[in-house]
Amino acid sequence: MTAKATAIAPANIAFIKYWGALDLAEAIPVNPSISMTLARCLSSCTVEHRPSGRDEVTIASSDGGLQDAPAAFARRILEHLERLRSAAGVRGSFRVATRNSFPSAAGLASSASGFAALTLAVTRALGLELPVRELSVLARRSGSGSAARSVLGGFVQWPAGENADDCYAVELAASDDWDVRDVIAVIDTEPKRVSSLEGHGRAASSPYYEARQNLLPGRIRAVRDAIERRAFGELGPIVEEEAVDLHLIAMSSRPPIFYWKPSTLEVMRAVRAMREDGLDAYFTIDAGANVHVLCLPEAEPEVVRRLEALSGVRDVLRDRVGSGPRISQEHLF
């Protein structure tokens, strides 16, 4: 007997970043992180469970065709399938196809959405309906820790780890509670040279690492409070400060990691100019060159217009807070 399921899961953008692991293999973070789940940057994943045979991983293209997944990508998926098979105590093989709604070469965080979708699709193909905290733990174990946050919608906190089984993300506020927009300035379409996994491993070698750790409890409190009170003007400056600190640590790690490109700075400068002109917008940057510009709905059209006018910006994606993953009947094969 075979069983098939398709899950669609969103990417998320971190306000307070996961950077540095207590246990890299288990993706147990040193510090808590807070993110906003997106609505439009989505990964779809169809999984079929078969009684025998070998696992098979493909990428679905928009015309419906299936191609073999690149080796490095396939390897991470195969490892996660093995983990899920042993967690569920089942045998047999999986046939997997994935697709991103956003350009997967755009260097946007597709691993969080991809692994959240894969985890949910595998469990459903096995006929399991797991509570969200168990899904969060399983998604985290993919190694892409931030996938732990992509199984939930709205505004999400993922605590620092102590016990591997209890390290799961929880919702702080629902997507309906606060309409925050994320206008993404795509600068770089190359895959990043140093993975975030590598970055977590090097983080503690930065002389500024401890300084950020000391600042984080205050930042976490302030971000939670700003979300609770929908205080965008209080959220924004902390989110910017936190993004710059992540890159400060990356750039001062040994060996150093430089994710920014010249156009990253061009966008950062443009966002500051927006504020000088009374437009409430703040940037944040994950482990890459692309810049996420957060704003409220009334500011979005002008933010988009100004980002599109910058010479180093290749594309502008409009996203917003979203409600989390879902099961779909539209299978990829």
Minimum CB distance to ligand PMV smaller for 145 or for 154: 145
- Name which of residues 96 to 125 contact ligand PMV (CB under 6 A): 109, 111-112
Q: Does 17 bind ligand PMV (CB under 6 A)?
A: yes
Q: Does 6 bind ligand PMV (CB under 6 A)?
A: no
Contact with ligand PMV (CB under 6 A): which of 188, 286, 300, 319? 286
CB of 248 to ligand PMV, least distance (A): 13
Q: Does 146 bind ligand PMV (CB under 6 A)?
A: yes
CB of 51 to ligand PMV, least distance (A): 33
Contact with ligand PMV (CB under 6 A): which of 5, 7, 11, 14? 14
Distance of CA 325 to the CA centre of its chain: 13
- For the chain, what is the largest distance between any 2 Cα atoms, rounded to a whole number of angstroms? 63
Look-up of token digits 């780890």: 161
Stated as kind and residue range, the H or E segment containing 78 is helix 71-88
Output the six-digit token pair for 33.
Answer: 């992180």
Task: State whether residue 157 is helix, strand or coil.
Answer: strand
CB of 145 to ligand PMV, least distance (A): 4
Q: How many residues make up the chain in this entry?
A: 333
Q: Which residues contact 25 (CB under 8 A, 6 or more apart)?
A: 143
Minimum CB distance to ligand PMV smaller for 36 or for 126: 36
CB of 225 to ligand PMV, least distance (A): 20
Contact with ligand PMV (CB under 6 A): which of 43, 144, 175, 263? 144
Among 46-54, 61-69, 139-147, 270-278, the segment contacting ligand PMV (CB under 6 A): 139-147
Phi/psi at 126 (5° precision): -85, 0
CA–CA distance, 158 with 165 (Å, rounded to integer): 13
Inter-residue contact 157 to 170 (CB < 8 Å): yes
CA–CA distance, 92 with 87 (Å, rounded to integer): 14
Among 15-23, 65-73, 178-186, 302-310, the segment contacting ligand PMV (CB under 6 A): 15-23
CB of 277 to ligand PMV, least distance (A): 29
Apex 323 CA angle, 162 and 197, nearest 5 = 40
Look-up of token digits 């209080």: 234
- Name which of residues 157 to 216 contact ligand PMV (CB under 6 A): 196-197
Contact with ligand PMV (CB under 6 A): which of 33, 46, 98, 263? 33
Using alpha carbons, select from 80, 104, 74 the residue that is nearest to residue 192: 104
Inter-residue contact 313 to 290 (CB < 8 Å): no
DSSP string over 22-53: EETTTTEESS-EEEEEEEEEEEEEEEEEESSS
Among 12-20, 97-105, 185-193, 261-269, the segment contacting ligand PMV (CB under 6 A): 12-20
Contact with ligand PMV (CB under 6 A): which of 5, 7, 18, 290? 18
Q: Residue 106 to residues 64, 65, 165, 182, 184: CA-CA distances in angstroms?
A: 21, 21, 33, 16, 11
Q: Does 287 bind ligand PMV (CB under 6 A)?
A: yes
Among 61-69, 89-97, 144-152, 309-317, the segment contacting ligand PMV (CB under 6 A): 144-152
CB of 47 to ligand PMV, least distance (A): 21
Determine the residue with CB nearest ligand PMV.
146
* Chain residues in the site for ligand PMV (CB under 6 A): 14, 17-19, 33, 109, 111-112, 144-146, 196-197, 286-287
